[in-house]
Amino acid sequence: MAEVQIGLIGVPWDSGTTNRPGPRHGPRQLRDLSTMIRAQNGITGVRPFEVANCADLGDVPHNPADITDCMERITEFYRKVLAAGVLPLTAGGDHLSTLPILRAVAEKAPVGMIHFDSHTDLFKGYFGGTKYTHGTPFCRAVEEGILDPKRVCMIGIRGTTYDTEDRDFADNIGIRVIAIEEFHKRGVTDVMTEAREIAGDGDTYISYDIDFVDPAFAPGTGTPEIGGPNSYQALEVVRHLSGVRIVGADLVEVSPPFDSLGNTAFLGASIMFELLCVIAPTL
């Protein structure tokens, strides 16, 4: 692992899902469809595997039967990866996977985050108070002091809701939420300029839930929401991350049981390649 600069890591775990499970099968499907991707970025010309040493570090040690134990195993693994000077690029897994990763990435100081999703994942609890689900990771991360809310921007939020608890929480602590109507009205360049300003010069984590993308392009996920960005915009937002001080990134919630054609996993692998093309030249 010593010479590796970017480590691709699978988190085959979906014990945080609350409706339709399946993202535990995401990493193997993303690896499979990544074989469709060539060496050079068609738009930026970046050849990430020549610019940085990238390696697939395999799947994280995990435990599907015990959420707390599993999160400890994940954090421990990412601590080792980071101690070796490797920047982690993760294939999830449901969005709860991001919490134990952030615990390792932000061990010394809180980080900023640019978060693409149709949901804030900022809820306090599910089913009367259950703390660890894929709808709660960023509420926990703020409580634990590993995310700096003033340097967090959430983009693409939409869909029906039970209430406004999550949005109220975001407003109260200073997280910037760019909902889908604002995203479509302003366009990618304008929105991403603001997102980069919010992240600033500090260490920033990128978390990308595939349900950010419209289900016409990414149906293979557990909680799709209509009216989202298309597959071109899905990649375009990542190119606009150039200049952000990225310390880790993930692509989560690809669910192969709902992805019969593999097109969601292909888009997911393409997003991960786009992330590589932004990160590799900075190392």
- Residues in touch with Mn ion (CB under 5 A): 95, 117-119, 121, 209, 211
Nearer to Mn ion, 119 or 151 (CB): 119
Instruction: Please report, for residues 50, 84, 283, the alpha-carbon distance to residue 79 in angstroms, rounded to integers and kept in the order given.
Output: 26, 9, 19
Looking only at the bridges linking them, the beta strands covering 147-157 and 111-116 are parallel
Q: Shortest Cβ distance from residue 247 to Mn ion (Å)? A: 20
Q: Shortest Cβ distance from residue 221 to Mn ion (Å)? A: 8
Q: Shortest Cβ distance from residue 269 to Mn ion (Å)? A: 18
Nearer to Mn ion, 57 or 95 (CB): 95
Nearer to Mn ion, 48 or 214 (CB): 214
Tokens read off for 139: 């509420």
Nearer to Mn ion, 148 or 253 (CB): 253
Nearer to Mn ion, 143 or 197 (CB): 143
Q: Shortest Cβ distance from residue 189 to Mn ion (Å)? A: 24
Nearer to Mn ion, 48 or 100 (CB): 100
Q: Bridge partners of 249?
A: 89, 206
Instruction: Please report, for residues 145, 175, 179, 246, the alpha-carbon distance to residue 131 in angstroms, rounded to integers and kept in the order given.
Output: 16, 20, 25, 28
Q: Shortest Cβ distance from residue 254 to Mn ion (Å)? A: 12
Q: Shortest Cβ distance from residue 145 to Mn ion (Å)? A: 21
Nearer to Mn ion, 19 or 35 (CB): 19
Contacts of 186 (CB under 8 A, 6+ apart): none
Q: Shortest Cβ distance from residue 153 to Mn ion (Å)? A: 15
